[in-house]
Amino acid sequence: MLTAVLIVLAACALVWATLLLVQKMCPPIRRAPHNDVLGFVYAVVGVLYAMVLAFMVIVVWENTGAAQQTVYSETVALRQIHDLAAALPAGPGAKVITEERAYVDSVITHEWPNLDHGVEPKTEEHAAKLRAAILRIDPGNNPQQQTIYTHLLDRQHDWLQARRERIERAEEGVKPAFWWFMVIGAVLTIGYIYFFGLTRTWPHLIITLIPTIMIVGMLVLVWDASKPFHGMISISPEPFKTMLTSWQY
């Protein structure tokens, strides 16, 4: 939060200094005759940039929602694996439950803080042990255990798929080309206001600062939300923590 505020304040300071420089190099009286034409063009430019910025906000928000859904899908699959393992004989079932708890604990402790950097080796090792514990189960000729084991394999597939999607979405972000376009568009949209000629500096400064705060603030929010598992608007590992707590009782 503090970083976002500092970025917005720095942008406002830069806008203020640039406006003072423009006022000194090109007096308002020389720019004032073109205010009518400039206002019409700026209305078009502002609307176009606002549409692009709104599109970026929607895309990032949808990606965050999809990432949240992958977390939900993974925890649901893990809960079902736990319940199915508990219905198996004590030996193989208990091994699956033990490895599953170790995996969830590793997700919370080691993987979540490092999700932006790809697969976390320690957690991946626990995931491999959980898969191995499930695959080593021998249901024998017992029809009930065979049915449970079939469902267990299905839930294992769901868990692994959700895990892969979670890791992939953590590494995703807004493409650099979009960021270049958004930043250059912000500079042009804000800088365009300097062409207006207002005889008084303070009203001109206020008129410039308002879109600066809005545009830079939205860009900071988009940047923060583009990494769904970190930042001010982030997905917490609370579903995993709740699940692990419930298994301890």
pLDDT of residue 224: 83
d(C-alpha 155, C-alpha 76), whole Å: 9
Between helix 201-225 and helix 176-191 the angle, nearest 10°, is 170
Which of 4, 14, 134, 18 has the alpha carbon at shortest distance from 80? 134
pLDDT cut 70: percent of the chain above it: 99
Cβ-proximal residues to 119 (8 Å cutoff; 6+ apart), any chain: 167
Tokens of 63: 């990606």
d(C-alpha 74, C-alpha 170), whole Å: 14
d(C-alpha 245, C-alpha 101), whole Å: 10
Mean pLDDT of 19-47: 82
Looking at 87-200, list the stretches that DSSP marks H as alpha helix, in order from N- to C-terminal side: 90-106, 121-135, 143-171, 176-191
Residue 97 CA, chain-centre distance (Å), reads 31
Reply yes or no on whether the pLDDT at 249 is more than 60: no
* Tokens 């809960």, located at residue: 79
Confidence class for position 131, pLDDT limits 50, 70, 90? very high
**pLDDT tens string 214-224:** 999 889 888 88
d(C-alpha 82, C-alpha 87), whole Å: 9
The one-letter amino acid code at 52 reads V
Tokens of 5: 């505020």
Average pLDDT, the chain: 87
Confidence class for position 77, pLDDT limits 50, 70, 90? very high
d(C-alpha 85, C-alpha 76), whole Å: 14
pTM exceeds 0.75 for this model: yes
Reply yes or no on whether the pLDDT at 73 is more than 90: yes
Total H helices, total E strands in the chain: 9, 0
Tokens of 98: 């033990």
d(C-alpha 210, C-alpha 20), whole Å: 17
Mean pLDDT of 160-171: 89
Reply yes or no on whether the pLDDT at 39 is more than 90: no
d(C-alpha 220, C-alpha 56), whole Å: 12
Q: Give me the residue spans of the domains in the chain.
A: 2-247
Mean pLDDT of 176-194: 87
Q: Are 126 and 106 in contact (CB under 8 A)?
A: yes
Reply yes or no on whether the pLDDT at 248 is more than 70: no
Tokens of 87: 């219905």
Tokens of 23: 């006022």
**pLDDT tens string 79-116:** 999 999 988 887 888 899 999 999 999 999 999 988 87
60-64, 115-119, 150-154, 218-222: lowest mean pLDDT where?
115-119
Confidence class for position 159, pLDDT limits 50, 70, 90? very high
